[in-house]
Chains A and B, each alone.
Chain A
């Protein structure tokens, strides 16, 4: 039998390893370059405002006074609203699809939810502005303002005029946008929980509710948290839909009815008009802050998951 020469194979093997390694390295390099670019291009603003940029809420292109606080506040609050709505809803839908509904129902509903994720964000923005906001202003906001506006402390969140657009509208639209991600990933996590684990929980005499919240959810908690952070990441950076409905005001207001702005919406709105270098650099610095925020949130998520694993020994 004729032996094959093996040298070319070894050469290819070496090249293959090289290709995989360099592909992975490119990702790191791009990350680093972005960080450097953003820092470099915001140097004027960093020099002028220093740390004060983070704590000032004035945003005045006429006098060139820039502070990121209003945008950061808007980003954080709209994202929080979105998470408060979408996380429990996503988990509940996923549990229904996996544990309770008929397989046919869960297939149809599951597909519909995945379709939601495929809708471009501009569509959400247009729908939010032209359909949701007027409806919200006519029916929901008056209800909230009338019923909750007078309660001490909480009431502050629900004061103001029913304009339709504003912080709460942005949060709700965002929650709709991240819901499919959270649901789809959480559903996959629940499907991966081994049947025998669920069976042994049912076998102890648990109800479906007890099985899901004491065992299934805990078993897949790592994946569920991962799903929430995917949603969080998307909500933080979401631009178009938020720009349409948040109202784009650089004022910090306690009321969720009032217009606000997020980092992403500020960038989308104002890049076109930023003629002065200092204006441009302030916007770049906003971008840098957004990048760092997402970065640190991911790190926090990792630490959190690590701690959970230590205390419960999660399965997935």
Chain B
């Protein structure tokens, strides 16, 4: 276990929770519910190069967990394991366990399409598909649900409302998704992702390509979304992590140096490296 000094041994996990296989005892100091996602001993390889070393982390349900760290430290790589999207690339390999509700996502019993419905992803750049605003949101619905046209319309509106986009696009649902502004496009992607009713939302630097006002809207959106979803967000922006997250993990060179409540990380980090990073001495 790499995360370390602040952690006790596994023995200190309350016995009734041990079977949920949370990786980190730390987790139970803060919450009494089993983790939504629990990562144990995760290694990751790009060909020969090892990008993640023995990552352990527990993601709390209905909370925002931020992943911070300097460029190239493995933040995005770590996130891309949760929905097994890295498997699109033949030279990328992951070892270790990632438990979603206690079930290993690498198990052969897991249906990858269902896993990706449960674990939605938002990318750095907005990625509207080449179709209308409506079709964009309906895309995943049509993939995963056998529902009628009228039900689709209801779900699309619901998702757009939840993504705080409905009022801006309700008169242009048939316009191409790419005709929206950058910030709107990103909220469209959020709407598309939440329309299929996922349980976890992965956000890979969702605001790095959009302007400050749009960023603010996304941050407000994240805050409202956590009531329904578990959110893991990779961010470059430490203020953002401090503003929106409940837990923060600090990554450095593929290792999780420190993982704790956001408040603790930003006010009283246990590790020297963490302190150096959040005070801007490197990175």
Contact = CB atoms under 8 A, between A and B. Distances in A.
Interface stretch (A43-51, A54-62, A214-222): A214-222
Interface stretch (B32-40, B126-134, B248-256): B126-134
Contacts of B123: 196, 199-200, 203
B121 interface: yes
Contact of A205 (B125, B127, B143, B175): B143
A218 B132 CA distance: 12
Given A205-B140, A215-B129, A218-B129, A199 B85 contact: yes
B176 A204 contact: no
Contacts of B115: 205
Contacts of A312: 130-132, 176
Interface in A210-240: 210, 214-215, 218-219, 221
Given A102-B90, A196-B124, A206-B143, A201 B129 contact: yes
Contact of A200 (B114, B127, B175, B176): B127
Nearest to A222: B130
Contacts of A204: 116-117, 120, 139-140, 143, 192-193, 196
A199 B79 CA distance: 13
B130 A215 contact: yes
Contacts of B144: 205
A192 interface: no
A277 interface: no
Nearest to A314: B130
Interface in A183-199: 194, 196-199
A312 B135 CA distance: 10
A202 interface: yes
Nearest to A99: B88
A88 interface: no
Contact of B117 (A205, A207, A214, A219): A205
B6 interface: no
A20 interface: no
Give the bracket for the number of chain A residues in contact with chain B. Answer: 20 to 34
B179 interface: yes
B85 A203 contact: yes
Nearest to B80: A199
Contacts of B143: 204-206, 210
Interface string A15-41: 000000000000000000000000000
B58 to A, nearest CB: 23
Contact of A315 (B83, B139, B178, B192): B178
Nearest to A316: B130
A306 interface: no
A263 B131 CA distance: 40
B189 interface: yes
B245 to A, nearest CB: 22
Main secondary structure of the interface of A (DSSP, over half): helix
B74 interface: no
A59 B202 CA distance: 70
B91 to A, nearest CB: 10
Contacts of B25: none
A290 to B, nearest CB: 35
B113 interface: yes
Contact of A214 (B129, B177, B192): B129
A202 B178 contact: no
A311 B179 CA distance: 10
A202 B130 contact: no
A313 interface: yes
Nearest to A199: B85
Contacts of B116: 202-205
B111 to A, nearest CB: 9
B130 A203 contact: no
Contact of B127 (A196, A206, A210, A311): A196
B114 A205 contact: yes
Contacts of B85: 199, 202-203
25 contacts: A103-B90, A194-B127, A196-B124, A196-B125, A197-B129, A199-B85, A203-B116, A203-B193, A204-B116, A204-B120, A204-B139, A204-B140, A204-B193, A204-B196, A205-B144, A206-B113, A214-B129, A218-B129, A310-B176, A311-B176, A312-B130, A312-B131, A312-B176, A313-B176, A315-B130
- Which 6 pairs between the two chains have the least Cβ-Cβ distance? A313-B176, A313-B178, A205-B116, A203-B121, A200-B127, A205-B113
Given A197-B127, A205-B113, A313-B128, 15 more contacts: A103-B90, A196-B124, A197-B129, A201-B129, A202-B85, A202-B116, A203-B83, A206-B143, A214-B129, A215-B130, A221-B130, A310-B176, A311-B176, A313-B176, A315-B130
